[in-house]
Chain A
Amino acid sequence: MSGPNTEFDPKQVAALDAQAIESMVAEALAGIAEASNLDELKAAKTAYAGDRSPLALANREIGALPPAAKADAGKRVGQARAQVKKALEDREQILIAERDAQVLQAEAVDVTLPVQRNPIGGRHPLTTLMERMADVFISMGYDIAEGPEAEAEWANFDALNVPPDHPARTMQDTFYVESPDSGVVLRTQTSPIQIRAMLERELPIYVVAPGRVYRTDELDATHTPVFHQIEGLAVDEGLTMADLKGTLDHLATQMFGEGIVTRLRPSYFPFTEPSAEVDLECFVCRGASVGDPNNPCRTCGSEGWIEWGGCGMVNPRVLTAVGIDNQKYRGFAFGMGIERTLMFRNGVTDMRDMVEGDIRFTRAFGVDA
């Protein structure tokens, strides 16, 4: 164990003399300047500013100096270390700048190369369109009702005021299950969901029901035996045809934008009375093609209007069939064709595209119609 230095002995601490310190600094500065990249600079940092670098070792010696020499040596070593540190920082700035300018530059790729992807697929536009239409009604406080596609004939016809031998049964060409007398059909319309809603729900009722329906039509550009409708039903006190019209106007605006013109045209459905067809003014020709053989309109067949769906005030007989007091309550109902909506809204010209499942069709819509 050595005792404390009581006397200044320059030989003992040769490393701390000014000349020695200077040469350490000079060596460090030269080494730092020589570092040509950040890795070499890191090595230089260890060599000249690390725990075992000459200056760090010199710094440790300071403690061994007699008090008289400590301040002087401390100042000298401190300045030297600061100088080296600054040189390292300066050099690092330069090398980072160099790397950014050259090395990363050299690593450049052609980002326009077609990169490997797992492209997203698509949801069928009829599906997303039904959701969109349903959402319009959700926002108005309606609920979404459902029912089976293979349906009791009673719900599809009888309860909807279509008696067995009524010509209205042949208005819609029906698929019968098993035998024509089995009591089961593929629903020809979403309207039996009205019956289910009225049997199952509390009054007042505000529901819409999107779904798949069936009629024995051959597939062609404008017909398909399997198609989709969205049914609407409101049963409440004091409902009017004006309410029906306003509701359909709102739907039309949501689906086709402001400025769409609708028309209610008297028609016949057994389950509504009064009944109407809902027409949209042709948004291609705006009616200009009517009676002008020189400018035919393919969208509306030069009729100026496009049939969108059917609607009316719920026939009081239908309310009776489900046990609702038709003196107290009135209802309105409507059924819009989803395929037709997609045709007009998105410009689909051939219904076969919707049913064939060609990936190019659905992919084009992505995940939203």
Chain B
Amino acid sequence: MRISTSWIRDLVAVPEDQTGRDIAERLIDAGLEVETVELVGAGLDGPIVVGKVLQIEELTEFKKPIRWCQVDIGGTEPSGIICGARNFAEGDLVVVAPPGTTLPGDFTITARETYGHISNGMICSERELGLGEDHAGIIVLAPETAEPGADASKVLGAGDEVLDIAITPDRGYALSARGIAREVAIAYGLDYHDPVENPETLPGPADERAPAHCASDDLEACPLFTLRTITGIDPSIPTPQWIVNRLRDSGMRSVSLAVDITNYVMLELGQPLHAFDLDSLQGTVRAGRAQPGEKLETIDHVERELSTDDLTIRDDRGPIGLAGTMGGADTEIGDETTNIALEAAYFAPDVVARMGRRHKLTSEASRRFERGIDRTLAPIASARASELLVELAGGTYQGMTAVEAPMDERAIEIPTDLPAQVAGMDIAAATTVAKLTAVGCTVEQSDDRLSVTPPTWRPDLTDPADLVEEVVRLVGYESLPSTLPTAPAGHGLTHAQRLRRRVGTVLAARGLIEVLTYPFTSEADANALRWNDDDPRRISPRLANPLSDEQPLLRAAILPTLLTAAQRNVGRGFDDLALFELGSVFLGAAGSKAPPRPGVTQRPSDADWQALEGLLPDQPMHVAAVWTGDRTAKNWQGSGEPATWADAIATAQDIADALGVDLTVEQGADPAFHPGRCAQLMIDNAIIGHAGELHPSVIEAWGLPARACAMELDLDVLMQRAPLVHPAPDFSSHPVAKEDIALVVAENVTAAQLEQVIREGAGELLEDVTLFDVYTGDQVPEGHKSLAFALRFRAPDRTLAAEEIAAARQGAIAAAEGLGARLR
């Protein structure tokens, strides 16, 4: 809601010395979020004057039509001014910036030759003067607004200040000058005269014509509907400048006097109004639900298919408006309209909100109805608008018809000291009563309880807590003391929380850099990763309203979004990368066509809660990493070492080691990886991830340097296996015996397989086995390789005898022979 300080001052006597910013501070403290304070005509320096256009000469020899105007600006001689706008005629009053005046943007007007004439000033638009946004044409003032030569800044309200206030959904009443002025009055401790209580000056019905008839077919959705009839307005009468200025300052454009009046009263009091062309109506105007199959063209010229849940305004022919949202085109008032039916009603907030969502349509009216307007305001606001139509537009008032359902009184009982209890500070009972009274509540006090009836314009006040907020905010949050509650003894981080931190630290220590990517991905990514059609990762939740249609899916793996981060870095000139990410992935379908919707008046049943949980996709925590280019940079000690598939596997093993979990590596076959350089990472015979070199197609798809490597694993599974307590080791202090064996095996035997059988064959005395050489070449037969292992033997209780060592060594060799190995 935008409102000028002059309007506020009309309604409440703010001390003269208070600036717009001062008022803003007070409102902010009271909970109205003033976002900006703008000076009307900011940047305007020097006089601007009212000019009367005496003569217009059309210059046609230029690329665009140009006007050479003689303008009376109050001097003895008219000023000759060149103007490119065309929305004015001889005799019109315009606004002239004479030479010497500086316009916003530091543009100083000078008398200068242009289009073959000396132009002595500039005829200005709203935007050129820094008054508003309108730049469709120059400002044309209503006839007799002022004499030529008069100070135009006064006429246009320059120098006023405009507060732009973000109104929270609970404070619908503040979408009006009436509501904001009340808050200002409370903040300054000033008396407030509610404009709603102004004596009515509307003349009695002329009774020349029966007022249009109205009805409500749905008293729940529309419990109050009024229709006033005004005839014989003069559509040629322009809107007075003071209304134009206020509309402009509140961000609305002047349309026509009748429309401007309805908008002005809405801004003033908060009651949306709608003016119908009376002569276009057929029969009774009623509020009622739309019928199946009905359509309506609204005044924005969109044809809308109506739902039977829509609340419409209707006459005998069908719908003529969306209640509280937007009128229909057929009954809109136009340039020729002289007879008006003025609708003012109360529409239920949820009904208007649903309709707005369904039609993706919000308006100044619907914003107010959605938040809940003053239930009693309709006839008062329409009387005010009718007064203005009679007074300013020359209309004749013909009377009102109305329908109204009874209204509930709703008193809220609270202990008098509840605000003090909740706030944690002393608040005197008298203060509580005073603050509640100031916001408009009726308060009855008995013993230590209050019975509080909120005013009709505060439908948000329904609970004791709402009253507490009113009292505490007006006492001032700044007076709250600062205390610390005593929590019970806590438990520290959970096991999983500690492990996640540890994984991050281990990876960083390994030289990897953490990124946090958006988890949005696409089928195209899945294709680029070469996932099979039946890959379960292809089933992940789809967003109904993605940021980009190209990324509508939630990721089922971190890899695609991580590769994109790598790609961005490569694009920025960093080819040597090691990135990681820890984050959730989303697996399987989500949601339901008819999701459970437990109420909120009691704890959901276990069954309901389980059903809600059942809607959600699996969301395990994954960790992924990607490497490109060199792991160590080229420098004077040697050429850089490339990051390889081995780094990817080693990283996975480091993570497992850090968690105290045994991870097994097997030859793997994830399609995103190089088919010969992919490890599957196993726990208890289940695959929990992959590591290795990426498939060349994947590397190409993301534009990464050749031989890029990656790793991704399900951290949740790993963490579940992590021991809570690490038992102390039991190790022998007897001497070690070292034996090396080199084994020649066929190419297809893996190192892991060979190591496994060596461990089994060597028996209990084996302490450790390390592969220290891999050889292929002349010394071994074609299709074979030599793997050399260092074995360490040790007994827990004695020094090993030579025979024992030889037997254990032989056991290892014999076991290896089972895989076709022979000792080299």
The B678-700 residues at the A interface (CB cut-off 8 A) are: none
In the complex, which residue of chain A has the Cβ closest to the Cβ of B351?
Answer: A165
Asked if B554 contacts A177 (CB within 8 A), the reply is yes
Which interface residue of A143, A182, A243, A249 has the most chain B CB atoms within 10 A?
A182
> Quick one: which of A113, A153, A175, A274 contacts B473, CB cutoff 8 A?
A274
Choose the segment among B25-33, B239-247, B381-389 that binds chain A (4+ C-beta atoms closer than 8 Å): B25-33
Q: In the assembly, what is the distance between CA of A367 and CA of B580, in Å?
A: 13
Residues of A contacting B583 in the complex (Cβ-Cβ under 8 angstroms): 212
Question: Which chain B residues in 443-483 approach chain A with CB under 8 Å?
Answer: 463-466, 468-469, 472-473, 477-478, 480-483
Q: Does B541 contact A (CB under 8 A)?
A: yes
Judge whether B505 and A123 touch: CB under 8 Å.
yes
- A141→B487 CA distance, assembly (Å): 6
User: Are B490 and A206 closer than 8 Å at their CB atoms?
Assistant: yes
Question: Contact: B508 with A121, CB < 8 Å?
Answer: yes
Are A114 and B487 neighbours in the complex by a CB distance under 8 Å?
no
Assess whether B544 is in contact with A152, with CB atoms less than 8 Å apart: no
Instruction: Point out the residues of chain A lying under 8 angstroms from B545, CB to CB.
Output: 175-176, 180, 216
CB contacts under 8 Å to A, within B575-589, are: 577-580, 582-584, 586, 589
Partner of B541, one of A165, A178, A204: A178
Bound CA span A225–B520, Å: 11
What separation, in Å, do the CA atoms of A87 and B637 have in the docked complex?
A: 44
Choose among B477, B501, B508, B619 the residue that contacts A148 (Cβ–Cβ < 8 A): B619
Whether B504 lies near A359 (C-beta < 8 A) is no
Contacts of A204 in B (CB 8 A): 487-488
Please report the C-alpha to C-alpha distance between residue A119 and residue B249 in the assembled complex, in whole angstroms.
59
Choose, from B168-176, B400-408, B783-791, the stretch at the interface. Answer: B168-176
Interface positions, chain A 294-313, Cβ under 8 Å from B, are: 313
Q: List residues of A (250-281) whose CB comes within 8 Å of B's CBs.
A: 250, 263-268, 270, 273-277
**Is the CB of A30 closer than 8 A to any CB of chain B?**
no
Residues of B387-432 whose CB lies within 8 A of A? 421-425
* Set of chain A residues within 8 Å of B487, measured between Cβ atoms: 140-142, 204, 206, 234
Write the A102-115 contact mask toward B (1 if CB under 8 angstroms, else 0).
00000000000111
On whether the beta carbons of A357 and B544 are closer than 8 Å, the reply is no
Instruction: Judge whether A141 and B586 touch: CB under 8 Å.
Output: no
Q: Are A315 and B592 closer than 8 Å at their CB atoms?
A: no
Binds B, one of A2-10, A56-64, A316-324: A316-324
Which residue of chain B lies nearest to A179 when distances are taken between CB atoms in the complex? B544
Chain B CB within 8 A of A242 CB = yes
Q: Answer yes or no: A191 CB below 8 A from chain B CBs.
A: no
Q: Are B554 and A265 in contact (CB under 8 A)?
A: no
Nearest residue (CB) in A for B597 is A154
Asked if A220 is an interface residue, CB under 8 A from chain B, the answer is: no
List A24-50 residues whose CB lies under 8 Å from chain B. none
Whether the pair B463, A234 counts as a contact (CB closer than 8 A) is no
Identify which of B424, B494, B508, B603 contacts A243 (C-beta below 8 A).
B424
Closest chain A CB from B131 CB (angstroms):
19
**Residue of B468, B513, B636 most packed against chain A (CB within 10 A):** B513
How many angstroms from the CA of A134 to the CA of B505 in the assembled complex? 17
B598 contacts partner chain A, Cβ-Cβ < 8 Å: yes
Q: Bound complex: CA of A330 vs CA of B487, how far in Å?
A: 14
Q: Is B795 part of the contact surface with A, judged by Cβ < 8 Å? A: no
Contact (Cβ within 8 A) A118 B617: no
A:117-171 near B, CB below 8 Å: 117-124, 126-127, 131, 134, 138, 140-144, 148-155, 158-159, 161, 163, 165-168, 170-171
Indicate whether B292 reaches chain A with its CB closer than 8 angstroms: no
Known contacts A142-B487, A218-B547: does B603 contact A149 (CB below 8 Å)? Answer: no
B508 engages A367 (CB within 8 Å): yes
Cβ–Cβ contact B477 & A265, under 8 A = yes
In the complex, whether A86 has a CB less than 8 A from a CB of chain B is no
Q: Which of A148, A161, A239, A250 makes the CB contact (< 8 A) with B600?
A: A161
Asked if A274 and B590 make an inter-chain contact with CB atoms under 8 angstroms apart, the answer reads no
The 8 Å CB contact of B617, one of A150, A234, A250, is A150
Residues in A with CB closer than 8 Å to B508 are 120-123, 366-367
User: Chain B contacts of A155 at CB under 8 A?
Assistant: 612
Is B492 engaged at the interface, CB distance under 8 Å to the other chain? yes
Stretch in B188-196, B280-288, B336-344, B565-573 touching the partner: B565-573
Q: Which applies to chain A's interface (DSSP): helix, strand, loop or mixed?
A: mixed
Instruction: Note all chain B residues with C-beta closer than 8 A to A356.
Output: 565, 568
CB of A266 within 8 A of CB of B30, answer yes
Say yes or no for B593: interface residue by CB 8 A criterion: yes
Write out the residue numbers on chain B whose beta carbons fall within 8 Å of the beta carbon of A121. Answer: 507-514, 578, 580
Contact of A359 with B600 in the complex, beta carbons under 8 Å: no
A161 to B619, CA, bound (A): 26
Residues of A within 8 A of B422 (CB): 240-241, 274, 313, 330
User: Per-position contact with B for A172-206: 1 when CB-CB < 8 Å, else 0?
Assistant: 00011111111110100000000000010000101
B689: min CB distance to chain A, Å: 20
Q: Which residues of A in the span 217-245 have a Cβ within 8 Å of any Cβ on B?
A: 218, 225-226, 234, 236, 239-243, 245
- Taking the complex as formed, is B596 at the interface, i.e. its CB lies under 8 A from any CB of chain A? yes
Give, as a whole number of angstroms, the nearest-CB distance from B17 to chain A. 14
CA distance A358 to B516 in the complex (A): 10
**Residues of A with C-beta under 8 A to B483:** 240, 242-243, 245-246
Q: Which residues of B contact A159 (CB under 8 A)?
A: 600
How far does the alpha carbon of A322 sit from the alpha carbon of B591 in the complex, in Å? 22
Note all chain B residues with C-beta closer than 8 A to A275.
469
Known: A234-B485, A323-B602. A149 touches B619 (CB 8 A): yes
The distance in angstroms between the C-alpha atoms of A227 and B545, with both chains bound, is: 18
Let me know if A236 and B509 touch, CB within 8 A: no
In the bound complex, do residue B543 and residue A175 qualify as a contact, i.e. CB atoms below 8 Å apart? yes
Q: Which of A346-369 contact B (CB under 8 A)?
A: 354-359, 362-363, 366-367
Asked whether any CB of chain A lies closer than 8 Å to the CB of B493, the reply is: yes
Query: What CA separation (Å) do A309 and B67 show in the bound complex?
Result: 56
B354 adjacent to chain A (CB < 8 Å): yes
Q: What is the CA–CA distance of A134 and B582 in the complex, to the nearest angstrom?
A: 18
B707 interfacial contact with A, CB 8 Å: no
Q: Which residue of A122, A151, A236, A274 contacts B468 across the interface (Cβ within 8 Å)?
A: A274
Instruction: State which of B497, B568, B592 has its C-beta within 8 Å of the C-beta of A183.
Output: B592
State A322–B604 Cα separation when bound (angstroms).
Answer: 7
Do residues B590 and A177 form an inter-chain contact, with CB atoms below 8 A? yes
Of B349, B477, B493, B514, the contact of A362 (CB 8 Å cutoff): B514
Q: Is the CB of A268 within 8 A of B637?
A: no
B477/A266 in contact, CB under 8 A: yes
Please pick, from B170, B482, B543, B577, the residue contacting A245 in the complex, using a CB distance under 8 A: B482
Known: A142-B487, A367-B508. A177 touches B542 (CB 8 A): yes
B412 to chain A, nearest CB (A): 12
- Is the beta-carbon distance between A273 and B541 smaller than 8 angstroms? no
**Known: A167-B169, A273-B466, A359-B577. Contact between A141 and B501, CB under 8 A?**
no
A116 contacts B by Cβ under 8 Å: yes
Distance between Cα atoms of A88 and B592 in the complex (Å)? 93
A264→B516 contact, CB < 8 A: no
Does A53 make an interface contact (CB < 8 A)?
no
Query: Looking across the interface, which residue of chain A has its beta carbon closest to that of B471?
Result: A274
Residues of B with C-beta under 8 A to A263: 477-478
Chain B nearest CB from A262 CB (Å) reads 9
Decide yes or no whether B350 CB sits under 8 A from chain A. Answer: yes
B615 at the interface (CB under 8 A from A): yes
At the interface, yes or no: A290 with Cβ under 8 Å from chain B?
yes
Among candidates A120, A143, A176, A274, residue contacting B491 with C-beta atoms closer than 8 Å: A143
A142, B486: Cα distance in complex, Å: 10
Min Cβ gap A175→B in Å is 5
Within 8 Å CB of A268, what residues of B? 31, 168-171
14 A-B contact pairs sorted by A residue (CB < 8 Å): A141-B486, A163-B350, A165-B350, A182-B590, A183-B612, A234-B485, A241-B422, A247-B485, A263-B477, A266-B473, A274-B465, A274-B468, A323-B602, A357-B579
Q: Known contacts A116-B632, A367-B505; can you find 13 more A-B pairs with CB under 8 A?
A: A141-B489, A144-B494, A154-B597, A167-B370, A226-B518, A242-B423, A246-B485, A265-B31, A277-B33, A317-B600, A355-B516, A357-B515, A362-B515
Top 3 A-B residue pairs of the complex, sorted by shortest distance between their CB atoms = A183-B595, A323-B603, A182-B591
